[in-house]
């Protein structure tokens, strides 16, 4: 499989954590304040070699999986420009997805991952206090028609717990 996973996690998401890519999955330690780890992998659709998003999982070394969330490429407008130029209607096959058919180019090359980066950052900040924020993208992260989550309130160590 030639998903160019390492290139994707380093260049498109630009994750600043101590981590490694094994096959098509990224494993990271976003914060030393918690023993939990972050696992990111491509979320498959029902079509072979087709991916519609990223799956983020928080894993604790002794407890196991704590939380999983899937970030849909379609909901985050990743391939909006590419899909708009196609003759297919929204919702047709491969809209908001990419396929891995063994090409020499990364299959996700035409995507704008800024909104996904923002969502990954919010997820990491929630589960891994003290983690380095994911750098924001050069393209606008607020894609028209894409639902934006409100910023999470931050709590400093001196703030009282509620």
Cα–Cα distance measured from residue 97 to residue 53, given in angstroms and rounded to the nearest whole number: 7
* 151 inside domain: no
* 157 inside domain: no
* 93 inside domain: yes
Nearest CA-CA partner of 99 in 139, 60, 134, 52? 52
* 148 inside domain: no
Give the model confidence (pLDDT) of 69-113 as tens digits.
Answer: 999 988 888 887 777 766 555 555 567 777 777 777 777 777 888
Tally the C-alpha atoms within 13 A of residue 47's C-alpha that lie toward its C-beta: 12
Cα–Cα distance measured from residue 59 to residue 136, given in angstroms and rounded to the nearest whole number: 25
Name the token pair of 124: 């990491």
Give the model confidence (pLDDT) of 31-66 as tens digits.
Answer: 888 899 999 999 988 888 888 889 999 999 999 999
Please tell me the total count of domains within the chain.
1
Residue 125 has pLDDT above 70, yes or no: yes
pLDDT given for residue 29 in this prediction: 93
Contact call for residues 121 and 50 (beta carbons, < 8 A): no
pLDDT given for residue 47 in this prediction: 84
What is the span of the domain harbouring residue 27? Answer: 5-127
């Amino acid at each position: 499989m030639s998903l160019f996973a390492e290139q994707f996690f380093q260049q498109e998401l630009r994750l600043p954590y101590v981590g490694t890519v094994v096959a098509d999955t990224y494993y990271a330690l976003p914060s030393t304040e918690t023993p939990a780890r972050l696992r990111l992998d491509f979320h498959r659709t029902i079509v072979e070699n087709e991916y519609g998003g990223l799956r983020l999982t928080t894993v604790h070394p002794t407890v196991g999986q704590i939380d999983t969330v899937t970030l849909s490429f379609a909901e985050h407008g990743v391939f909006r420009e590419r899909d708009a130029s196609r003759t297919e209607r929204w919702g047709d096959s491969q809209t908001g997805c990419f396929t891995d058919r063994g090409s020499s180019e990364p299959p996700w090359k035409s995507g704008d991952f800024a909104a996904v980066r923002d969502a990954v950052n919010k997820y990491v900040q929630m589960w891994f206090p003290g983690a380095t924020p994911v750098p924001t993208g050069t393209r606008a992260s607020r894609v028209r028609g894409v639902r934006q989550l409100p910023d999470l309130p931050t709590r400093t160590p001196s703030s009282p717990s509620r």
